[in-house]
Chain A
Amino acid sequence: MVEEFNGLLTATVFLPAAGALFLLLFVKGDRNVRTFAVLIALADMVLSLVVFGLFDRSEGADRFQFVDQMTWIPDVGLNANFLLTVDGLSAPLVALTGLLGMCAVLASWHINLRVKEYFVWLLVLQTAVMGVFTSMDLLLFFLFWELELVPMFMLISVWGSGRKEYSAMKFLIFTIFGSALMLVGIVAVFLTEGVGTFNMVELSTEATMLTSAGLLIPLSGLFWLFFAGFAIKLPTWPLHTWLPDAHTDAPTAASVMLAGVLLKMGGYGLLRINVGMFPSQTDRFAWVLVVLGVVSVLYGAVVTMRQTDLKRLIAYSSVSHMGLVLVGIGSVGISQGTLTVTGLNGAAMQLFTHGTVTGLLFLAVGLVYEKTHTRYIPDLGGLAGRMPVVAVAMLIAGLASLGLPGLSGFVSELLVFMGAYTAYDWPTILAVSGIVLAAGYILWMIERTFFGPQRERFAHLTDASLVEAAPLALMIVTIIGVGVWPALLTDVFESGLNPMVDVLNGVINK
């Protein structure tokens, strides 16, 4: 094994955790804690943007860049390594995590309960998620995957609202159930004769990939074990019911992180492991993914209509939108011809755009809740006159969510639909009709919350302050930027997905 150490990714991943440790030991006073946390998040956001910016997207560049590789557990029957690296698939998601981490910390400015502890958990969460997106060793990946549960559980159950303990526990049990299945898969891969590695780079390279020979569990079994873990995280119908509860009862920052990046771990896992390591099975079961995806899209959208709690409404809309990730991956199921990267790229884009869009939605809803003390839609109304900045942010996020061109949501939807249509035309047409439902629930929500006559009891509301508006602005700039110039992201995603597509094409035309 070649030891190399670039250091950039190690810094990006562990800076928040190191900051959290420092915070815990040395920083005193709520104000200092907040400022320090913001500085750490800012530094990590800059680092993550550096990773994204320096990533060499030109043709012929290395597939995996910024490699940090060291022996972790030497060859005593385990052979696990410390391997952090990014390719075109993960680099944008690292940037997304940096951006949303910053927003989450800023959105927590008014937290008053156990302040230090809160920010420690928030920063640890960021390290865990960064780790998931960058580790290319299955065991390390799994470690970060599990690490993320602890801070999120604490954030919901301590700083949440409503039935927070129930929701936190539900979130935990669902995810652990999926992780358990995934762990079986990981162990089975490692124990297979002639494999003996956790190295995901090797496992997703055609020459060294798993073949059906000598497996403990057949390839299809492994595929579904991993799929279960990721499908719960995504989440897809019918494994989604933890999401509305967790979102509704989580504090704003946790909702932002949960919807913005934690769900993306599911989509990322599907692309990285299911598509990347089991291409033949992805091709074989693409139709299942499309069916689950289309059901999630429509079912999620219809159920969204009925919601009366702002956060719950957005949570269900996430189910609908993450369904599109599955639909996009389903584009792999073309029966003939050459697979193009379009659908997969759409799925990856959907991860990024949904992260920013839903992040913005939750930020705006958080402000509404903070100021009006209610999220119950029938109690709201006429807020646009009182808080125009929040209204504009919500409107832009809503329009991006319903796929308005010029904003990021449109590009990912278009690519998903184009890719999937070539493989499954009628299911895709069904999914396309979901854009009407999306327009319905988004605009109706905005109408009931922000439009209509101003209400007496909201007469003293103030608009977002500068600290509150900063994360909104950060997200809006990203959403419009990606919407107007999507090539900024699609090119990077493409460089990461193209090697997978090449392998898939070998499988399809066999």
Chain B
Amino acid sequence: MITEALIWAIFLLPLGSFAFSALVVRPFFNRYSLVSGIVTIGALGTAFAFSIWTLRSVIVHHDLNFEPIEWLEVGGATIEMGLLIDPLTAIMLVVVTGVSLLVQSYSLGYMEGDKSFCRYYSYMSLFTAAMLGLVLASNIIQLYVFWELVGVSSYLLIGFWHERPAAAAAAKKAFIITRIGDVGFLIAILYLFAKADEFAAAGLNAFHIPDIWQAAQPEAALGAVLGGTALTWLALGIFAGAAGKSGQFPLHAWLPDAMEGPTPVSALIHAATMVAAGVFLVARFFPVFEHSADAMMVVALVGAFTAVFAATMGLVMNDIKRVMAYSTISQLGYMMAALGLGLYAPAIFHLVTHAAFKALLFLGAGSVNHATGTFDMRYMGGLRRVMPVTYVLVLMSGLSLVGIIPLAGFWSKDEILLGAWDGSSVLDTWVNRVTFSALLAGVIMTAFYTIRMIILTFHGEFRGGVETELMEKAQTVPAGAADHGGVHLHESPLVMVLPMVVLGIAAVALGYLANPQWDMGIPKHWITGFLADGLGAALGLEGHGEALEFSWWMALVSTGAALAGVLLALVIYLRRKGKGADPLEHAGPLHTLLAQKYYVDTLYEDVIVRKGFFKVIAGTLDWIDRNLVDGIVDLIGWFFRNIGSAIGKFQTGQVQAYATGIAFGILAIILALLLAQ
């Protein structure tokens, strides 16, 4: 059985490699920056081993309840730091450490020669440590602490090449937009604090996550401190935070811009850390959400809308990383929608498979960039001949994303679709129907943009890479080009390819965990049962465990939808020759609308922030501050200066004048006294 200290070590090891890189290597041994990479990988490798061990301990039902440590006690508030080890945590630990380990290994090749190599690894360590801290947290404030640290490390990594204005701006945008969501999360915490007395009366701690689950149960025997509209608002506050981190509409706008970071960072952000944090948060508080039908409906509809909304934009992007970014937003929409529909285990399962294939897709994009110097697919093409391994791996992960049987992505997406069709007892039928239709439409679009991306990148003739791009656009150096020195078509080095192969195996084989039809060493619906049992066990409840029976009919429908998208893309793009305009541009205004991202960025940045907020609101207040608030002060000063000199005029020094004044004064007093009587 794994010990408490070793579980803490999962979080402390990457934190230690951060401290080592930032405080020792960077200031004193920057010439040997490779050390920081090796140390990070060593720390993560160990953490990964401990994570596997933790997972095993959870599977065999070891008692993993540990006493939390008191961090801060002020007044009525006791804030603790502890470990919450359940199936969800255990799976997330393995995903986070595993993906991070592979990405760090890949980075050894990708970031080779970067002058900030050491800084890169220290940020990456911090990022992973923060995410692990978040996953392990047993206390909502502890979770919030690491939640924010995830945010700040992503800020540092997105803005890693801070000399590029676009990177610096994207980093800031990511932090601010996610922070808007965090306000909701923080208010939810404040609400819990306001309820602390009632929690205490029921023998619960308002910040302890399992206690919050208890308090949300309707049965009085379990606690029942939270309920009604307040419960809905609490859940929606938490969801606001989750929507920010997971790029759900309308807080999605930061995610595509986050591409400005180094590509392995994107892989980590999109697969295992950051965006997964939002889904994890909702899953973590699932026992709260499920008792509010309204909150569940909001989560389901926002997720479903985001799934389609983002997919449509993915159709027309020319930047390979942007296609993937919109794909991530869309897939996160699937996970959120699943959670909203009550499909706890399928949502997490999809998170796991998505982590594998999306990390691989991004690493593939990085590999392609290594060869061509660009991310613009209009200047790629034909790469399957020069980089066959990358091609095969990207194709496999792409098909996994599309949901082709028997790849991993099929199984997880299928469970979500099936659940959406069967419906959830909590929600109205129309919500189920709308969600299902949206998700099914999403499948067609996912297939289309994925195949389009693969064809544009790997098929046809090579279209010149970054050199042609620079010539045609006559613009400044695009992202990535400066650091990878132009076009030299070749397969990536082994240190980059090996991690991709490992992810490729995962992207194919993870479906085994669902294993819906056949008993192959593990029980049918193993992962669903494992997660749901964990949820039930925590509450001492049954009723989360019903696995959805695999349905050939649904598999047929979803595969049909996927194949339709694939065929459409094949027809449009495979036979296309040369470098003409993208066929989708024939769609005219619709294409423009999508390429302009529905003008959401324009609305946010130009209309709301620059014009509305900065010019009108801030401008007005600034004017008021200078002219009214401070103006009054200056006016008072002016008044006293002048009243001084005005009164000074009476001080003539002539006794006659004073005597006249005194005489009139006495007269006035006498008059006043007389009148008063």
Interface residues of A (CB under 8 A from B): 170, 173, 237-238, 240-242, 299, 302-303, 305-306, 337, 340-342, 345-346, 382, 384-385, 399, 404-406, 410-411, 414-415, 417-419, 421-422, 425, 428-429, 432-433, 435-436, 439-440, 443-444, 447, 450-454, 486-487, 490, 494, 501
A-B contact sample (11 more), CB < 8 A, given A342-B77, A501-B75: A173-B637, A303-B621, A342-B75, A425-B194, A432-B183, A432-B190, A450-B162, A451-B159, A451-B167, A453-B164, A490-B74
* Given A306-B622, A345-B75, A421-B194, A436 contacting B179 (CB threshold 8 A): yes
Distance in angstroms between the alpha carbons of A421 and B206 in the assembled complex: 15
Q: How far is the CB of A180 from chain B (nearest CB, A)?
A: 14
Q: What residues of chain A lie closer than 8 Å to B167, measured between beta carbons?
A: 451
Q: How far is the CB of B484 from chain A (nearest CB, A)?
A: 19
Distance in angstroms between the alpha carbons of A189 and B155 in the assembled complex: 54
In the complex formed, the residue of B with least CB distance to A304 is B618
B169:A385 contact, CB within 8 angstroms: no
Distance in angstroms between the alpha carbons of A237 and B632 in the assembled complex: 13
B74:A494 contact, CB within 8 angstroms: yes
* Given A306-B618, A443-B175, A487-B71, A451 contacting B190 (CB threshold 8 A): no
Q: What residues of chain A lie closer than 8 Å to B146, measured between beta carbons?
A: 405
* Given A303-B622, A425-B194, A340 contacting B163 (CB threshold 8 A): no
B149:A405 contact, CB within 8 angstroms: yes
Q: How far is the CB of A420 from chain B (nearest CB, A)?
A: 9
What are 17 A-to-B residue pairs whose CB atoms are below 8 Å? Answer: A241-B629, A302-B622, A305-B613, A305-B614, A306-B619, A306-B621, A340-B74, A340-B76, A342-B74, A342-B76, A345-B74, A345-B75, A384-B162, A417-B186, A429-B187, A432-B187, A451-B162
* Given A303-B622, A432-B186, A432-B187, A439 contacting B179 (CB threshold 8 A): yes
Q: What residues of chain A lie closer than 8 Å to B164, measured between beta carbons?
A: 452-453
Q: Does B180 contact A (CB under 8 A)?
A: yes
Q: How far is the CB of A398 from chain B (nearest CB, A)?
A: 11
Distance in angstroms between the alpha carbons of A429 and B148 in the assembled complex: 19
Q: How far is the CB of A456 from chain B (nearest CB, A)?
A: 14
A418:B193 contact, CB within 8 angstroms: yes
Q: Does B422 contact A (CB under 8 A)?
A: no
Q: How far is the CB of B28 from chain A (nearest CB, A)?
A: 14
Q: How far is the CB of B173 from chain A (nearest CB, A)?
A: 9
Q: How far is the CB of A133 from chain B (nearest CB, A)?
A: 22
Give the top 8 A-B pairs by smallest Cβ distance, nearest first.
Answer: A340-B75, A451-B168, A405-B145, A342-B75, A241-B630, A306-B622, A421-B190, A341-B75
Interface string of B164-190 (1 = CB under 8 A from A): 110111011001100110110011011
Distance in angstroms between the alpha carbons of A447 and B176 in the assembled complex: 13
Give chain B interface residues in 234-282, CB to chain A under 8 Å: none
Distance in angstroms between the alpha carbons of A114 and B554 in the assembled complex: 85
Distance in angstroms between the alpha carbons of A433 and B237 in the assembled complex: 13
B190:A417 contact, CB within 8 angstroms: yes
Give chain B interface residues in 598-644, CB to chain A under 8 Å: 613-614, 617-619, 621-622, 625, 629-630, 633, 637
Distance in angstroms between the alpha carbons of A385 and B119 in the assembled complex: 13
Q: What residues of chain A lie closer than 8 Å to B168, measured between beta carbons?
A: 447, 451-452
A447:B619 contact, CB within 8 angstroms: no
Distance in angstroms between the alpha carbons of A39 and B538 in the assembled complex: 60
B629:A436 contact, CB within 8 angstroms: no
* Given A303-B621, A405-B145, A486-B72, A454 contacting B163 (CB threshold 8 A): yes
B618:A305 contact, CB within 8 angstroms: yes
Distance in angstroms between the alpha carbons of A147 and B566 in the assembled complex: 80
B625:A418 contact, CB within 8 angstroms: no
Give chain B interface residues in 518-544, CB to chain A under 8 Å: none
In the complex formed, the residue of A with least CB distance to B191 is A421
Q: What residues of chain B lie closer than 8 Å to A490, measured between beta carbons?
A: 72-74
In the complex formed, the residue of A with least CB distance to B190 is A421
Distance in angstroms between the alpha carbons of A346 and B72 in the assembled complex: 12
A241:B625 contact, CB within 8 angstroms: yes
Q: What residues of chain B lie closer than 8 Å to A405, measured between beta carbons?
A: 144-146, 148-149
Q: What residues of chain A lie closer than 8 Å to B155, measured between beta carbons?
A: 443
Distance in angstroms between the alpha carbons of A385 and B163 in the assembled complex: 8
Q: What residues of chain B lie closer than 8 Å to A237, measured between beta carbons?
A: 629
Distance in angstroms between the alpha carbons of A501 and B75 in the assembled complex: 10
Distance in angstroms between the alpha carbons of A305 and B620 in the assembled complex: 12
B197:A406 contact, CB within 8 angstroms: no
Q: What residues of chain A lie closer than 8 Å to B186, measured between beta carbons?
A: 417, 432, 435
Label chain B's interface by main secondary structure: helix
Label chain A's interface by main secondary structure: helix
Q: Does B352 contact A (CB under 8 A)?
A: no
* Given A241-B630, A405-B149, A435-B186, A453 contacting B194 (CB threshold 8 A): no
B633:A241 contact, CB within 8 angstroms: yes
Q: How far is the CB of B478 from chain A (nearest CB, A)?
A: 15
In the complex formed, the residue of A with least CB distance to B115 is A385
Distance in angstroms between the alpha carbons of A56 and B378 in the assembled complex: 71
B190:A453 contact, CB within 8 angstroms: no
Q: What residues of chain B lie closer than 8 Å to A450, measured between beta carbons?
A: 162
* Given A404-B148, A436-B183, A453 contacting B165 (CB threshold 8 A): yes
The residue from B163, B180, B191, B621 contacting A453, defined by CB atoms under 8 A apart: B163
Q: Does B152 contact A (CB under 8 A)?
A: yes
B165:A444 contact, CB within 8 angstroms: no
Interface size on B, residues (CB 8 A): 51
The residue from A299, A342, A428, A443 contacting B172, defined by CB atoms under 8 A apart: A443
Q: How far is the CB of A245 from chain B (nearest CB, A)?
A: 8
Q: How far is the CB of B521 from chain A (nearest CB, A)?
A: 43
Q: Does B141 contact A (CB under 8 A)?
A: yes
* Residue among A240, A404, A418, A447 facing the most chain B CB atoms (10 A cut-off): A418
Interface string of B70-109 (1 = CB under 8 A from A): 0111111100000000000000000000000000000000
Distance in angstroms between the alpha carbons of A439 and B146 in the assembled complex: 17
* Residue among B148, B168, B169, B621 facing the most chain A CB atoms (10 A cut-off): B168
The residue from B72, B73, B175, B619 contacting A439, defined by CB atoms under 8 A apart: B175
* Given A382-B163, A421-B193, A238 contacting B629 (CB threshold 8 A): yes
In the complex formed, the residue of A with least CB distance to B130 is A406
Q: How far is the CB of A469 from chain B (nearest CB, A)?
A: 11
Q: How far is the CB of B170 from chain A (nearest CB, A)?
A: 10
Q: What residues of chain A lie closer than 8 Å to B191, measured between beta carbons?
A: 421
Distance in angstroms between the alpha carbons of A451 and B77 in the assembled complex: 40
Distance in angstroms between the alpha carbons of A382 and B167 in the assembled complex: 13
A303:B630 contact, CB within 8 angstroms: no
In the complex formed, the residue of A with least CB distance to B622 is A306
Q: How far is the CB of B49 from chain A (nearest CB, A)?
A: 27
A419:B75 contact, CB within 8 angstroms: yes
In the complex formed, the residue of B with least CB distance to A237 is B629
Distance in angstroms between the alpha carbons of A340 and B196 in the assembled complex: 11
Distance in angstroms between the alpha carbons of A445 and B630 in the assembled complex: 24
The residue from A242, A384, A399, A435 contacting B183, defined by CB atoms under 8 A apart: A435
Q: What residues of chain B lie closer than 8 Å to A306, measured between beta carbons?
A: 614, 618-619, 621-622
Distance in angstroms between the alpha carbons of A385 and B160 in the assembled complex: 12
In the complex formed, the residue of B with least CB distance to A384 is B162
A340:B77 contact, CB within 8 angstroms: yes
Distance in angstroms between the alpha carbons of A107 and B613 in the assembled complex: 37
Q: What residues of chain B lie closer than 8 Å to A454, measured between beta carbons?
A: 163
Distance in angstroms between the alpha carbons of A242 and B634 in the assembled complex: 11
The residue from B76, B194, B197, B618 contacting A303, defined by CB atoms under 8 A apart: B618
Distance in angstroms between the alpha carbons of A406 and B133 in the assembled complex: 12
The residue from B148, B152, B175, B618 contacting A302, defined by CB atoms under 8 A apart: B618
Q: How far is the CB of A30 from chain B (nearest CB, A)?
A: 32
In the complex formed, the residue of B with least CB distance to A420 is B190
A341:B190 contact, CB within 8 angstroms: no
Q: What residues of chain B lie closer than 8 Å to A451, measured between beta carbons?
A: 159, 162-163, 165, 167-168
Distance in angstroms between the alpha carbons of A433 and B197 in the assembled complex: 26
B176:A428 contact, CB within 8 angstroms: no
Interface string of B136-151 (1 = CB under 8 A from A): 0000010011101100
In the complex formed, the residue of A with least CB distance to B156 is A395
In the complex formed, the residue of B with least CB distance to A490 is B74
In the complex formed, the residue of B with least CB distance to A170 is B633
Q: What residues of chain B lie closer than 8 Å to A419, measured between beta carbons?
A: 75
